């Protein structure tokens, strides 16, 4: 996906994350902090490509990562999402003046990139170091670049129009045990 598509998709994701109250800080936090936090990390996984928007500016970091893991390698996996989430929420940043909702939004921004890349035919190695790539190829930026932009804008419109106070758990049938696991995960992230 292009950098522009990632920006729009991340914006939509952060709006959804706040409206769906994915964590208490996101539910109660400042809109500005959440939007900026999500946008800030939405291109971070592509640090593994020296020609990406971020890679061009941080070549000293991008080139070694590209050589070690290749493009769409470890940075596009559960392992990287878990690592970034732990790093961001484990105290290094949360003990600073940085608002906690900003940190949670940074995690949402990172995840939004991985999800968006999964929508392209190239897919992503979600279970890295297991190399199999996972994809739901509803977008094809090289063949239909306009459709990618239209899709991202549509997701953004849905996010903006989505009403407040309608949690996804109220819409779906979710067992108590899953609810309990979700509550536990939310508490760990605080
Ligand atoms: Zn990517």
Q: How far is the CA of 179 from the centre of ligand 1 (A)?
A: 31
Q: Which residues surround the ion ligand 1 when the cut-off is CB under 5 Å?
A: 45-46, 117
| Number of domains composing the chain | 1
Q: Looking at the domain assignment, is residue 108 inside a domain?
A: yes
Q: How far is the CA of 173 from the centre of ligand 1 (A)?
A: 32
What pLDDT digit, counting tens, does each position of 168-182 carry?
555 555 556 666 666
Q: How far is the CA of 171 from the centre of ligand 1 (A)?
A: 31
Q: Looking at the domain assignment, is residue 53 inside a domain?
A: yes
CB 73 within 8 A of CB 125: yes
Length of the chain: 190
d(CA 73, CA 151) in angstroms, rounded, equals 25
Q: How far is the CA of 174 from the centre of ligand 1 (A)?
A: 31
- The phi and psi torsions of 122 (rounded to 5 degrees) equal -65, -25
In which domain, by residue range, is 99 found? 3-162
- For 124, the 3-state DSSP assignment is strand
Q: Looking at the domain assignment, is residue 21 inside a domain?
A: yes
Q: Looking at the domain assignment, is residue 178 inside a domain?
A: no
In this prediction, residue 177 carries a pLDDT of 61
Confidence class of residue 85 from pLDDT cuts 50, 70 and 90? confident
> Is the bond into 129 cis (omega within 30 degrees of 0)?
yes
Q: Looking at the domain assignment, is residue 125 inside a domain?
A: yes
In this prediction, residue 89 carries a pLDDT of 72
Q: Looking at the domain assignment, is residue 180 inside a domain?
A: no
Q: What is the mean pLDDT of residues 112-139?
A: 94
């Amino acid at each position: 996906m292009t950098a522009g598509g990632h920006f729009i998709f991340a914006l939509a994701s952060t709006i959804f994350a706040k409206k769906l109250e994915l964590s208490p800080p996101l539910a109660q936090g400042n809109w500005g902090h959440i939007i900026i936090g999500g946008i800030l990390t939405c291109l971070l996984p592509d640090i593994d490509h020296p020609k990406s928007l971020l890679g061009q500016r941080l070549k000293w970091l991008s080139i070694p990562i590209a050589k070690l893991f290749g493009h769409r390698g470890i940075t596009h996996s559960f392992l990287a999402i878990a690592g970034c989430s732990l790093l961001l929420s484990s105290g290094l940043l949360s003990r600073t003046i940085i608002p906690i909702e900003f940190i949670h939004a940074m995690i949402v921004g990172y995840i939004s990139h991985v999800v968006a890349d999964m929508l392209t035919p190239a897919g992503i190695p979600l279970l890295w170091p297991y190399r199999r790539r996972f994809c739901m190829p509803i977008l094809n930026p090289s063949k239909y670049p306009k459709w990618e932009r239209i899709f991202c804008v549509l997701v953004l419109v849905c996010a903006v129009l989505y009403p407040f106070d309608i949690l996804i758990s109220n819409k779906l049938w979710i067992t108590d045990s899953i609810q309990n696991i979700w509550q536990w995960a939310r508490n760990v992230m605080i």
